[in-house]
Structure 1
Amino acid sequence: MPALKQRHQNGGRSPRSGNRGSSLPGSQDLRGKTLQSHSTKAHVHHSSRSIFSSWTYLLGFLVVLVSVAHWGNTRLPTPLNEPFDPKTGITQYSEANVRKITKTLSEDIGLRLVGTIQMVDAEEYLIREIKSMQEQALIATAKGAKDLPKFEYWTQVNDGSHRFDFMSKVVMKMYTNMTNVVVRLSCGPECDKNSVLLNGHVDTTLGSPGATDDALGVATLMETIRVLSLRPALKRNSLVFLLNGGEESLQDASHSFITTHELKDNIRAVINIEGAGTKGPEILFQANSREMVDAYKRVPYPHGSVMANDLFATGIILSDTDFRQFVEYGDLTGLDMAVYKNSYAYHTHLDTNEHMEVGLPQHLGENTLAMVTYLGNHADLSGPKFEKSTDVIFFDTLGLFFTVYSFQTAIYLAMGVGVFALFAISLGASRPTVKSTASVFASFAASMAGAIAVAKSLQLLGKPMQWFSGEWLPLIHFAPAALAAMVLVQYFVHDPKASHGANELSTLSGVHFFFAVFMGTATQARIGSSYALCLYSLSFTVSMFYNRTKISGLSKKNQREDMSASAIGVDYKTYFVATAIPTLTFAQLAFCLLDTLVPLMGRIGTNAPVDVICAGMVGFFCFMISPPLLAFVHRFGRGPMKKIIAALVILQLAILSFSVMFIRPFNSLHPQRVFAQHLRNMTSGETRVFVAHCDPGPFYDTYVAALESMYETKAKFHHGVDSPGDWHAVYPFSFFLDSYSLDTTPYIRARTENKTIAESNSPLTDLIKDSPKMVAENVRYDPGKGLRSLTILCTHADYIFTVVSFDAKLTAWSLDSDIPSKEYNHYVVRISSGYRADGWRMDLEYHASGPNDKLKVEITALEPEAFGGKAERELAGTGEMLVLHNLVKSKPEWMAMTYFSTIVDTFYL
């Protein structure tokens, strides 16, 4: 690595080492400044006004760049309310139509859990709307419309099973009476040979009306059907729309379609539409083929980056979509898109039509319509299916442009940019030294360490997650410490024997070299997001040549010294050149990361180091948003650096003090997620309430203590890893639910109107008559092989989800997947049942010590009555359901509660 050359004149340094002749504030020329000589060095003094204006212009430029990035990251189109263009009469995509559907599904019908009557209501509503669209198309044809597409629909009801591994846990899934509504638009038999699938799910999760997850996805498909059914048919490929009836039950309905439906073999690609927030724009976050990403290039409002692909692949985002089923069982390629901003509302009561941002449905719909129009008219789907590949680089620029290229191209680009960087070093335009480069690495580490130190301080003060109530709050809480730590490193490495300009150029060269190495390492690791580092490295190389040209020109103009001496300095404008593209690029990515990761910290478990994660992220942001600032702080010497560090430390202390005294981590729009379960154990006779939170924030003192007072009993703590069976109804999420349980039997007896129950010592569960039952049939034992086989028959009148668990060394079963283990193992099987599906069966064969070596099976069943109602199906007059009702009624406004009632029983079969 070339060492930085230094020329010493007049007792220490050349007074011309700065940026002579620059007209912008902060330039190191000698005009109007005083030169003081010392025994070893000469200093150019800058006025406070000069320093202030220099910082103001540069920071103002950064603010403008970040503001532009924010605009590009949040802008949405103006909604269209008319179903037809008033000028041309052509059918158009209408947000007003979409909102009618989302309102009906999320408000008029409400919770749409698999197995409930509301789910049936939703399916019937959609079928009525589809029939109405068919009739409109027939009327249009009768009025003279030509070449409209063939319009067909199906209702699929099916049973099945599949394996669903999630959170490092093996989950076996069974489903019965799972329903799908399927629509096809085509130009005829030739088009039907090749189809593009569009998917959205009708059902919701526990406790959420699901306006964007996924009523918006369903409504987008419905409006797309309406628009295309009244336009001339797409000429090349048909479109299949899947309104699937069971995604939240762990993707049962999509599995049913892609494995059994009559149209499955003609599907060539898929577009999945999901919702994980309420604000837009929606993002392309998974893509597994170049051809489908190329189709996305046609959308009017692109928003997506391969960074989202990289992030989702890490597994840190604890969610999944139907896209998985289409890839795993249909071998399809495609796109996965989702609404992701304001994911505080995801899977909560806040996911409503009211909170859905204006313009979001229009954005999603017009993008979807543009893609399917291209795929239907132009894509060649007649050959083999699109080749699967995640080696595709893609990103948008301010939602205006969309760039796509292969990873091989990315490698060539990185090589070219790397050679360009080395060329800059070899010519002396960039002059990194070991010390300056090491200081950049040290500042990178210090930025995160400083922020993490603040996070640790908040934890020691008993104030975790103070930053949670806004995606931007982590920046406020941690950025001052991160910036102070970065500047502190530069303060210590600043060489007082060299000119300020020499320190500047050396550090900026170190930044240049750092990102060249960073780019090469990320590209070698085949990280798609390395495209951003390539832009960084290229920008810094260009800026180094720009600086060389500016300094060289000034030197020739003034006829001073040789090139090597005159290049020791950084022209002020160089910082603008070096900053523009990197800051704009990273600001876009940073907004996406903040919108995704900050709300996510509220639902990844009580043991997750969320404060450290967010602080580290902020430290990374502070470094990446404008690395040339590391060089700029050297411009005015160590004195101003000391003042900057002091100011940032004081600001950090003030923010911490204010936060600890006045900020609460949760509020009504940024709630703490809590699970509440009223569990009745038919074996032990216990009736208990379990409450659990999904984050490491405060919980016992803020909520559980109040429940102890209400139920007049002491809560017991249960660690999720040690007691996963407590929450089998939501397995496998049960493993990170640390919970408290409270005995509710005394509470019920004290409030029941039934005196017999009040005075009885018998378990309340004795009164439950229609709990789930399991029996064994076709029991056989083979003494020669030591194998016992049986058929489990389960009946569960009106219970909507059942989960069974058992321990055995299995050799065979009736599920449509291989047995996960040949050894003795613990099995958990989740069964989802459609409306009026009151039972299921499962065949098992396992190693047994004898014919009477019975299988111990535990079943957990969830009942639908618990969701907000006061009805007491089983124990009328006892006040049992009032336990859950009062629990929900008394919850704080800053809490989002997912609540349900379950029964647990054990059978020996």
Structure 2
Amino acid sequence: MAAPLKQRHITLVNTDDAHRFPTLEPLPPIAPSSSSSLSNKDQQHHQQQQLLLKKKLHHASLKRPNGALQGLVYDIRLRHPRASAWLLYLAFLFMLVVVSFRLHYALPTPVSSEEGATVDPSTGQLRFSEENVRKTVRYLSEDIGYRVVGTEQDQDTQIYLIKELQYLKEQAQKTSARQVGAGALVDPMPNFDMWIQVENGAHQFDFMSKVVMKMYTNMTNIIVRLSCGPECDTNSILLNAHYDTTLGSPGAVDDALPVGVMLEMIRILSQRPALKKNSLIFLFNGGEESLQDASHSFITLHELRHSVRAVINLEGCGTSGPEILFQANSQPMIEAYRRVPYPHGTVMGNDLFSTGIILSDTDFRQFVEYGNLTGLDMAVYKNSYLYHTHLDLDAHMEQGLPQHLGENTLTLATYLGDQVDLQENMEQTKAVVYFDVFGQFFVSYSMDTAILSHIAVGGLVILSVVMGASRPTVRSVVSVVLSLVAALLTPSLTALTLQSLGKTMVWFTHEWLPIAIFGPLGAAAMLAVQMAFHDKKASRGTNELQTFSAIQMLYTVTMAIGSWARIASSYFLATYAFLTTAALLFNHRQTNAQRRAGHMTGTGVDYATYFVAAGPLTLWCSYLAFSLLDLIVPLTGRIGVDAPVDHIMAIMTGFCVFSFSPSLLAFSHRFGRKSLKRIVTGLVVLQVAVIVWVSVFMSPYDEMHPKRVFVQHLRNLTSGESLMYVAHADAGPFYTPYVSPIESLLDTKATFRSGGENPGDWNAVYPFNQFLDSYVFDTTPYIRKHTTNETLAKSKAPLTDLIHSPPRLVAEKVSYDAARGVRKLTMLCTHPEYIWTVMSFDAEVVSWSMDLAVPSKERFHYVVRNAGGYRTDGWRLEVEYKASGIDDKLRVELTAMETEGFGKDVERELEGSGEIGLMRKVVKARPVDVTLTYFSAVLSNFDL
């Protein structure tokens, strides 16, 4: 017996909605029947119906294919057109994200250092070699190690760089001599000049809302100039990288990578004919991490400073991905960047950096502030989890990254040195819009041009409304604005839930995790608003078109506000407004054609329009979102324990969810309010499941995404205390996983001390100390208990009495001017075997010997930091301050760091204490998901 024909029900709400099922046309129903009970006439009718059905399926390109998977897709499309439309659209969006990801993280193929590989066969010129750069990086970060200003490693680095540069100079001279000897008719080779600059100086460094007075002593710079001769020497491009490192980091990327890049550039350019217009100055500066002392020294004191017209600063705070142009301040320099082979940068980074939200700074500041220079600030920034940690190693630097940075910088410097007139139009300005397009090419134009283009976009928007392509209503505009607000705010409910479960920062280990953790609720809230505003009196198509039009209005109005405020980043809003308008115009054409063909009545949005809208918008948004997440997520691990990082990430996720594909709001109306309700419910259920999963299975940190912990062993010579301070830099869990084990190790309880209430606890790293709440351990009982020296164990004398040659402050040339009520003295600080002294005092200072203006005419809390080169044993400072008499002394607190401990896991032993290495024990007990910044320091108070 033949099986009965299965009934298929295909229902359309009305003819206006027929266009929303792109895979089907209306088909006649087939009545259920059995072939055994049909008459001949009925069988003929049945066959006609089947033939009609086949023709319909053929015209709709829905003939059931062979194969189980293809057949399943066929059945889904036939029986579940709504799911089919959603799945196809979401699959398209996912494909865009994948394409954007590949474009965003693409890096060039590294060039080896083998002799044949370093020569370009087409030109015969030397090629940039990543492997040569990595040799430098490995030597600096592994063979030398922690290159902190003032340490022996600091001097070792200088010796290495001078040796390498002298070798390159000799090779360049040999090449030039061979050409002259052979009588070759070629362009002359560049002059290769070198300087070693060692200077003393001072500058004011305001950072993190604090005033810091900086002094430096014996600060060293190594400088190379490549020039075509005197005619090129009057105009120079400065390239800068620092060779020192911060506490606790071997600095492979920060900043050995840029140092290696500059060495490789010198190798190549010194073997090529000289650049014809401008000379190139390479500054290997020896003190950036000490608060930009060496760059200040060069730009204020070196003889070459007057010839510098522009600067390219190279920095690193990550270990992967392409470097980014994140600061630029002149149109000619930005236009020069358009020549690089792998552009990556946006003015949004410039605007974000200028807000101060990103708690970081570079030498670029010194060149702009003291040299009035224009230029470019470029940095490696992705995967900055390892920035300023012991994991900043060559092994963790992605393949292709040095090649990317090197080829871009070499191309840029060559173009500037060979073709740009540095005397023209080099004024500082931030009124320039610039951005790369998927890393393929670079766009830049003035803010005036941007405003004109925004006006044009506004005109196009008005035209779309007049034509009827855009039909916003007050109801739809309000719904879109509220959807944006809901997307931004409701993810904070997830953040609050996780915080109540003790699961702060569980998203930290991967940049994309905040989207997965906070995104479902943001999307649910966004769509719930649309569900509430769905107009039952209007057709679904009308709801779609009005919502689509409201999205256009939102971006147009915000674009207008940004343009009025002359915010360069408003180009982002203009792009969204333009592309949404283009999609609406496309839809207008499509729906008009459908109406003329009789396939549609009323208004609506053609299915293809969503693909037209999402194509460029989602691709563009995803590309920018990768940069935003790469920058912000790791940054939350070092912005302080009080920062509301979960809510910051929740809000940022909401913004990404809304911006990812704005047309989703319109698409959500396509199948009615009931469908929207099911989607919102599903997203809420998904959010609950995510919270449960996260709270049970996830933790905030791992080995490659560690928590930052700071340890200071401070010996107070005035009070006799020996204390260990342990602090952290984020809001994640701390006491139980880390402090408690130290309590067990030292067999003592820690005392909590607020950084806000005890600002002097971490003066050694001022002004970063304001974020450091601490747990403090009294280490005296532990040392007495474990020392092999019985006399020391039984003694009641302070352990600090055993410290050898501590730093001292004395007053010289003390005088008092009764008429002016001013006391004058010269402070002499001696600190053999110690570095990075920090002096603080309260006074109404009238004048001092630093070449700086006194920042306040009233009584003020001064903090003066001093950094010096290797074997710098002291400094002097003359001060005049208001006083009641000659005996009205100045109370000064002095902190200094010990030279040991920077990467060697040791600290200075107390004289006669036996083998007690307290810091060594703490370092060895470090959990795998923690990175330490540690040092030992001494503190004294002096009445001068």
Q: Is the shorter-chain TM-score for this pair beyond 0.5, marking a shared fold?
A: yes
Matching residue of 1:17: 16
Give runs of ≥4 in structure 1 deviating > 6 Å.
none
Deviations 1:465-497 (A, max 9, x none): 010011011011001111111111111111222
Matching residue of 1:302: 343
1:141, CA displacement in angstroms?
Answer: 2.0
Does 2:478 align with 1:438?
A: yes
Matching residue of 1:7: none
Determine if contact 1:606/1:693 at 8 Å carries over to the other structure.
yes
Does 2:361 align with 1:320?
A: yes
Alpha-carbon distance change, 543 to 120 in structure 1, aligned in 2, over 3 angstroms = same
Matching residue of 1:555: 595
Deviations 1:788-817 (A, max 9, x none): 000000000121110000000010011121
Structure 2 letter corresponding to 1:60: A
1:70, CA displacement in angstroms?
Answer: 1.2
Deviations 1:160-193 (A, max 9, x none): 0000000010000000010000000000000001
TM-score (norm 1): 0.95
Question: Structure 2: which 5+ residue stretches go unaligned?
Answer: 1-11, 31-75
1:15, CA displacement in angstroms?
Answer: 2.7
Does 2:252 align with 1:194?
A: no
Determine if contact 1:532/1:586 at 8 Å carries over to the other structure.
no
Does 2:332 align with 1:291?
A: yes
Determine if contact 2:907/2:936 at 8 Å carries over to the other structure.
no
Does 2:870 align with 1:830?
A: no
Deviations 1:445-475 (A, max 9, x none): 1112221110111111121101001101101
SS state of the match for residue 274, structure 1? strand
Structure 2 letter corresponding to 1:819: V
Which residue of 387, 390, 397 corresponds with 2:427? 387
Deviations 1:361-401 (A, max 9, x none): 00000000100111001110135x71100111111111101
Does 2:924 align with 1:889?
A: yes
Determine if contact 2:324/2:344 at 8 Å carries over to the other structure.
yes
1:872, CA displacement in angstroms?
Answer: 5.9
Determine if contact 1:688/1:742 at 8 Å carries over to the other structure.
yes
How do 1:27-46 residues align onto structure 2 when only pairs under 5 Å count? 30=26
Inter-partner Cα distance in structure 2 for 1:48 and 1:511: 32
Determine if contact 1:539/1:582 at 8 Å carries over to the other structure.
yes
Deviations 1:225-250 (A, max 9, x none): 11000000000000000000000000
Inter-partner Cα distance in structure 2 for 1:855 and 1:369: 53
SS state of the match for residue 80, structure 2? helix
Determine if contact 2:261/2:405 at 8 Å carries over to the other structure.
yes
Structure 1 letter corresponding to 2:143: D
SS state of the match for residue 16, structure 2? coil
Inter-partner Cα distance in structure 2 for 1:709 and 1:214: 38
Inter-partner Cα distance in structure 1 for 2:108 and 2:499: 42
How do 1:871-886 residues align onto structure 2 when only pairs under 5 Å count? 873=908, 875-878=910-913, 882-886=917-921
Matching residue of 2:373: 332
SS state of the match for residue 617, structure 2? helix
Determine if contact 1:234/1:376 at 8 Å carries over to the other structure.
yes
Does 2:543 align with 1:503?
A: yes
Inter-partner Cα distance in structure 2 for 1:685 and 1:133: 53
Determine if contact 2:147/2:246 at 8 Å carries over to the other structure.
yes
Determine if contact 1:33/1:46 at 8 Å carries over to the other structure.
no
Alpha-carbon distance change, 847 to 691 in structure 1, aligned in 2, over 3 angstroms = same
Inter-partner Cα distance in structure 2 for 1:637 and 1:495: 10
Structure 1 letter corresponding to 2:654: G
SS state of the match for residue 60, structure 1? helix
Structure 1 letter corresponding to 2:623: Q
Inter-partner Cα distance in structure 2 for 1:842 and 1:628: 65
Deviations 1:684-738 (A, max 9, x none): 1000100000001111111111111211222111111111110011100100111
Inter-partner Cα distance in structure 1 for 2:387 and 2:869: 24
How do 1:402-801 residues align onto structure 2 when only pairs under 5 Å count? 402-558=442-598, 566-801=601-836
Matching residue of 1:8: none
Inter-partner Cα distance in structure 1 for 2:236 and 2:916: 49
1:30, CA displacement in angstroms?
Answer: 4.3
Question: Structure 1 residues 50-59 or 104-113, which shifts more?
Answer: 50-59
SS state of the match for residue 377, structure 2? strand
Deviations 1:316-344 (A, max 9, x none): 11110000000000000000000000000
Matching residue of 2:311: 270
1:879, CA displacement in angstroms?
Answer: 5.0
Inter-partner Cα distance in structure 2 for 1:89 and 1:17: 67
Determine if contact 1:271/1:336 at 8 Å carries over to the other structure.
yes
Matching residue of 2:50: none
Determine if contact 2:196/2:221 at 8 Å carries over to the other structure.
yes
Structure 1 letter corresponding to 2:920: H
Inter-partner Cα distance in structure 2 for 1:484 and 1:186: 62
Structure 1 letter corresponding to 2:686: L
Deviations 1:574-616 (A, max 9, x none): 1111222221221111000000000000000000000000010
Determine if contact 1:866/1:881 at 8 Å carries over to the other structure.
no
Inter-partner Cα distance in structure 1 for 2:27 and 2:722: 85
Deviations 1:386-443 (A, max 9, x none): 1100111111111101000111111111111011111111221111111111000011
Structure 1 letter corresponding to 2:333: M
Inter-partner Cα distance in structure 2 for 1:527 and 1:592: 20
SS state of the match for residue 862, structure 1? strand
Inter-partner Cα distance in structure 1 for 2:760 and 2:571: 45
Matching residue of 2:39: none
Give the fraction of aligned pairs with identical amino acids, expressed as a percent.
55
1:658, CA displacement in angstroms?
Answer: 0.9
Inter-partner Cα distance in structure 2 for 1:880 and 1:712: 18
* Two-structure CA RMSD over aligned residues (Å): 1.7
Determine if contact 2:721/2:800 at 8 Å carries over to the other structure.
yes
Does 2:258 align with 1:223?
A: no
Inter-partner Cα distance in structure 2 for 1:598 and 1:490: 30
Inter-partner Cα distance in structure 1 for 2:287 and 2:409: 22
Matching residue of 2:33: none
Determine if contact 1:789/1:845 at 8 Å carries over to the other structure.
yes
Structure 1 letter corresponding to 2:798: P
Matching residue of 2:59: none
Structure 2 letter corresponding to 1:420: L
Determine if contact 1:685/1:764 at 8 Å carries over to the other structure.
yes
SS state of the match for residue 166, structure 1? coil
SS state of the match for residue 568, structure 1? coil
How do 1:810-889 residues align onto structure 2 when only pairs under 5 Å count? 810-869=845-904, 873=908, 875-878=910-913, 882-889=917-924
SS state of the match for residue 347, structure 1? coil
Tell me the matched-pair count.
878
Determine if contact 2:21/2:85 at 8 Å carries over to the other structure.
no
Structure 1 letter corresponding to 2:529: V
Structure 2 letter corresponding to 1:24: P
Q: Name the larger-Rg structure.
A: 2
Inter-partner Cα distance in structure 1 for 2:695 and 2:152: 47
Determine if contact 1:19/1:570 at 8 Å carries over to the other structure.
no
Inter-partner Cα distance in structure 2 for 1:578 and 1:52: 20
Does 2:413 align with 1:372?
A: yes
SS state of the match for residue 574, structure 2? helix
Determine if contact 1:548/1:567 at 8 Å carries over to the other structure.
no
Alpha-carbon distance change, 233 to 868 in structure 1, aligned in 2, over 3 angstroms = closer
Alpha-carbon distance change, 501 to 747 in structure 1, aligned in 2, over 3 angstroms = same
Determine if contact 1:769/1:874 at 8 Å carries over to the other structure.
no
1:60, CA displacement in angstroms?
Answer: 1.6
Matching residue of 1:10: none
Structure 2 letter corresponding to 1:645: V
SS state of the match for residue 177, structure 1? strand
Structure 1 letter corresponding to 2:87: T
Alpha-carbon distance change, 791 to 698 in structure 1, aligned in 2, over 3 angstroms = same
